[in-house]
Amino acid sequence: MGDVFTADVLTAEEVAAARAVTPGCASGLIHLNHAGSSLPPQVVLDAQIGHLEAEATLGGYEAAALALDRRHAVYASIARMIGAEPNEIARTEHATAAWNTAFWSVPMSPGQRIVVHDHEYGANIVAFLAAAERRGVLIDRVPCDRFGQVDVDAVADRLARHDVALVSLTHVPTNGGLVNPAAEVGALTRAAGVPFLLDACQSVGQRRIDVDEIGCDLLSATGRKYLRGPRGTGFLYARSSLLDRLVPSQPDHHGANLVAGDRFEWIAGARRFEYWEHSVASWLGLGAAVDHALSCGVERIEATVTSRAEQLRSMLVDAGFTVYDEGLERCGIVTTATAAEPSARLQARLAEHRINATTTAPDSSRWDVERRNLPVLLRLSVHVTTTDDELSATLEVLTRGR
Ligand SMILES: Cc1ncc(COP(=O)(O)O)c(C=O)c1O
């Protein structure tokens, strides 16, 4: 079932305004790598640089103390964006750190199954394999349905067997434009009382996300992609009602209080998953990025990004390219290839014209690559700052010299 779009796509004037506050848009660069690392708006730089200057002139601890309210406000902003409570958010360095923190905190017994899907990110696959080795769990890969998305009936079937430790799903795969029906999976895990971990690394910032509507218990995200925050930032959402069933796997004395020399107690809320030391400047930059997205309206970002990506897909198909994105619902990631020229060459030719794109790395989504027998694809990812002119210029380079 797809979302019904009620939000308006940004007008040309609004896109121009979004570009005007994005330094990377001023230099003639065409950035179609928002799924890799997006272009931050000026407010993100200001938050980071302002804090770095405070650290340099006041001292790192003193600057952090002065920024206490702003640091706390970041949790509230993230919580507002995903329909959570501030004490359900933990700061992490990136999405994999958040995902691993969540995954390894879920109790699993030998013989229990972890229900997973082919769109999992490479790092998650490594963790599944490691858990099978260390914990004796069985990896149960549910198939895709005829649209290429997770087969929800197959998830229901697995949950009916009552031996599932965790359901894991990647909301938007790294190398494909589809959006998995996370809320349908969440309805099932909720009814079964099984923890549901959602990898929302590629969806946060470009899709409206409400953790209660989705029904996930754990959600991992990164700052630098569609959120347009700094590199080296991320967060974990952990549902408060699940906290007592989770065991943080590598705590420090920030996540736990050393109440005696031989005893610790977890601190309240999701911050038990955090480490004490972190880049305060980057965390504040992430907060600025979230506030920026909220001020634009995540629904409108979703509508704009989705429509821009569909426009690009049509242009590619019209130009004879194959588009590889599956799913009933699609997002801002567009994957394509042509028999006429290897994707790496296409990427290099785009780079010569200052157009940023990436090619897919098989290790990043190995199960999906094997299932679909995918060649290396050109990945073009759009955002609200992407214009018609940029897409036309990109197509012109791609089709030139054939
Ligand atoms: C779906 C997905 N999950 C997780 C990650 C890992 O994110 P990070 O590099 O922030 O750890 C990525 C990165 O591309 C991704 O695409």
Do 241 and 196 touch, CB atoms closer than 8 A?
Answer: no
Q: Is the CB of 94 under 6 A from ligand 1?
A: yes
Do 90 and 248 touch, CB atoms closer than 8 A?
Answer: no
- Strand ranges for 276-375 from DSSP E: 322-323, 333-337, 355-356, 358-359
Do 212 and 183 touch, CB atoms closer than 8 A?
Answer: no
pLDDT per position as a tens digit, 252-311:
999 999 999 999 999 999 999 999 999 999 999 999 999 999 999 999 999 999 999 999
Q: Tokens at residue 161, please?
A: 């067997």
Q: Rounded to whole angstroms, how far apart are CA atoms 167 and 303?
A: 29
pLDDT per position as a tens digit, 376-402:
999 999 999 999 999 999 999 999 866
pLDDT per position as a tens digit, 14-60:
999 999 999 999 989 999 999 999 999 999 999 999 999 999 999 99
Do 236 and 264 touch, CB atoms closer than 8 A?
Answer: no
Q: Rounded to whole angstroms, how far apart are CA atoms 197 and 187?
A: 13
β-pairing, 164-170 with 89-92? unpaired
CA atoms within a 13 Å half-sphere pointing along the CA-CB vector of 305: 36
CA-closest candidate to residue 36, choices 172, 202, 162, 152: 202
The whole-number pLDDT of residue 195 equals: 98
Read off the amino acid at residue 326. E
The alpha carbon of 234 and the centre of ligand 1 are apart by a number of angstroms equal to 10
Query: Hey, which of 100, 118, 222, 369 would you mutate to test ligand 1's pocket, going by the most ligand atoms within 8 Å of its Cβ?
Result: 222
The whole-number pLDDT of residue 26 equals: 95
Residue 2's pLDDT band, with cuts at 50, 70 and 90, is: very low
The alpha carbon of 199 and the centre of ligand 1 are apart by a number of angstroms equal to 8
CA-closest candidate to residue 269, choices 292, 244, 237, 240: 240
Residue 1's pLDDT band, with cuts at 50, 70 and 90, is: very low
From 4-8, 12-16, 115-119, 330-334, the region with the lowest mean pLDDT: 4-8
pLDDT per position as a tens digit, 105-114:
999 999 999 9
Q: For the chain, which domains are there?
A: 12-39+297-399 (3.90.1150.10), 45-295 (3.40.640.10)
β-pairing, 263-266 with 256-260? antiparallel
pLDDT per position as a tens digit, 312-335:
999 999 999 999 999 999 999 999
Q: Is the CB of 199 under 6 A from ligand 1?
A: yes
* DSSP symbol at 150: B
The whole-number pLDDT of residue 401 equals: 65
Q: Is the CB of 381 under 6 A from ligand 1?
A: no
The alpha carbon of 305 and the centre of ligand 1 are apart by a number of angstroms equal to 19
| 5 has pLDDT over 70 | no
